[in-house]
Chains A and B, each alone.
Chain A
Amino acid sequence: MDPRIGTALTVLIGVPAVLIGYIYLTEIALRALPERYKPRARPWLWLLPALAFLFVFLIYPTIGTFIRSFRNADDTDFIGLNNFQKFVSSDATLIALRNNILWVIFLTVFCVGIGLLIAVLVDRVRYESWAKGVIFLPLAISAVAASLIWKFMFDYQPPGEPQTGTMNAFIGVFGISPVPWLQIDTFALNTFALIGVMAWMWTGFAMVIISASLKSISAELLEAARVDGANEWQVFRRIVFPLLLPTIAVVSTTMIITALKAFDIVYTMTGGNFNTDVIANLMYKQISFGDFGFASAIAVVLLIAIVPIMGVNIRRFQAQEAIR
């Protein structure tokens, strides 16, 4: 028998048993405490496993990375801002930075724009759930599988060979010669191709949330506007869109974070070659090269880019708690 099955069974039964056992144990331990301290101590015992994991896997390493970003490759010496200087002076990082900016702008615009378009369109057809399912499905598959699906779409054979890639076969019908989509970096064409793949995966996410918000707009309100003589475009522009704005803002922040963290698609489709690199892939490459100082500095840049969004999230959360 595969020895891993033994381990897996131990984990499957053991871990829940240990965790639930822990909660029972805290109750027994609490009996030793005087009555008035019990309600004070109990929450901390319940939170302890979660706080321990959060500290060890998120807080401590973030501080560690921050410190390491000021140290050299093998973590033996303090080198001040050298790693950050390297970041702003190397062509590779600047291209990655430019690409990430393209990712943030265009992934957000594509996903939110097309998601909104689809949500509004399918609201008017009877096969709505089918259409939504089709758009939504890519969200369930891995970015690696999505990359394969699209690498095949973009497949390129030299002119004269049979074009089996769908895109090149399609443009071939119109007599256009085949294009090596993933290698052309003029106007960052290949980066846009990669962003398109990510948009194919994530548009369903934007669509589902916008669609749920769309359904919550009262039909009477829209009917009243139509009776007053507003045409469909005016109804959308003046009523539906403003009511959807808060939802669109929420979806946009999620898409911005997704774009900043983009990794799998670049790693699988181009490996960052042909000027398609992004910060997350650059950082992974530095880990595999063993330059932990520089890798840490890249991670810190990524963190700094995300911190403002963290602020927005917290403020929105507090606003919600206020109306709860």
Chain B
Amino acid sequence: MHHYSPLERVLRGVALTAIVIFFMFPIFWIVLMSLQTNETILRSPPSMVFEPTFSNYAAIIAGRLDSNVASMGIEFMNNLMNSIILSVGSVTVALILGVPAAYAFARHKFRGSEDIAFTLLSFRFAPPLLVLLPLTMYFQQIGLADTYLGLIWVYQLICLPLILWIVRGYFEDIPQDIEHAYRIAGHSWFATFRKIALPLAGPGIAAAALLAFIFAWNNFIFALVLASADKQPVTVGALAFVTASGIQYGQIAAAVVLSITPTLALALYAQRYLVEGLSLGAVKG
């Protein structure tokens, strides 16, 4: 164990605090904003002292946006539901397709396998705007525009390469002898995939799924172009807060807090799978 001198300890504490404040401050500020009215947010100079109010949350959950000029309906809770459906749906599809594919790319080198894997990765390089126009036209022709199915399909451009490449690396890290040993013991390749490869790559699959979920959740441009009002996720739905009578900062802040909550909860939940060691000391290093 390395022991730090008192000075070192103090400096480390200061540095850690500074980093945490730097990264957490925006979130902290948003939470504060979400508990204020537009008037207290916009007063000058800004102050930390205010009467907390849940009116923003109430307005969002009730779907009524009341400004000093007029009152209008918003679909934020609907947007939140859409975000959940789209993100969960596309990550699920990407896992079902991507994990077996990653295993195939990791374990079975066939002619052109590297090229196929790279092509899949290259989907992430393409500028989304370039793809969107032709995609929109095709989707309208085949009736996939403005459907969950169509959006989940397009979201595979985001999720599938990510899951494929991360999980492939984890599969490759499993010593092949472990899988050989299981097969020699008399198990089929499918049993080996299920009982050996999947559990051992578990932390990697969890990490990839979490990342893919965050990317899908944060996607804006695909949903903006391809989804109409009732299929829009929160990222697009937040545009509704920019109203003719001004920008509703308080409600935006409350919406932001509500929309980061699912990802945050998922990240906290997945954390314990992420830190689990991969190889667990099966093979002498």
Asked if A and B bind, the verdict is no
